[in-house]
Amino acid sequence: MSQKNMSLLVKKRFLDKKKVSMLDTCEDYIYGRAKKIGFNLAHHDTKEKLEYVHSDMWGAPTVPMSLGNCQHFISFIDDHTRKVWVYFLKTNDEAFEKFVSWISLVKNQSGNRVNSENRQRSRVL
């Protein structure tokens, strides 16, 4: 119950004023009640394949092993076609190797190269 409501009950004589003490401001409560601001929606006007690629890596040592003894995966999503590639990794160290093999694969399959400007902005988490 809030301090305001407790004071109201004291005024109406439902509670004894001696038994009600002032509460300190609870910082955790204030943060918990605060409105969270979401991310802005990203708008990409891609006109060709592989012009803009989204990538994400997920996994942790605490995640149970898959049947192939993998605990991580990395994904690549082409913004224009929405095509998704997923590679399963046994350790984080394999991420760059999979990234390089993915670039080679998409270059051979599509004839397009991954936009070098976006490649410089990309990062493996």
Residue 87 has pLDDT above 80, yes or no: yes
For residue 40, pLDDT over 70 is answered with: yes
What's the pTM value of the predicted model, to 2 decimals?
0.59
Angle subtended at Cα 124 by Cα 53 and Cα 101, rounded to the nearest 5 degrees: 65
- The verdict on residue 70 lying in a domain is yes
Q: Calculate mean pLDDT across residues 38-65.
A: 86
* Whether residue 64 is found in the same domain as residue 10: no
Same domain for 27 and 67, yes or no, is no
Asked if residue 82 is part of any domain, the answer here is yes
pLDDT grade, residue 10 (50/70/90)? Answer: confident
How many structural domains comprise the chain?
Answer: 2
Domain membership flag for residue 43: no
- Residue 96's domain comprises 53-121
Is 17 within a domain?
Answer: yes
Copy the structure tokens of residue 74. Answer: 């990395």
pLDDT bin (cut points 50, 70, 90) of residue 122 is: very low
Whether 114 and 82 share a structural domain:
yes
13 & 66 share domain: no
Integer angstrom CA distances of residue 18 from 10, 13, 15, 21 = 10, 12, 9, 7
Predicted pLDDT at 121: 47
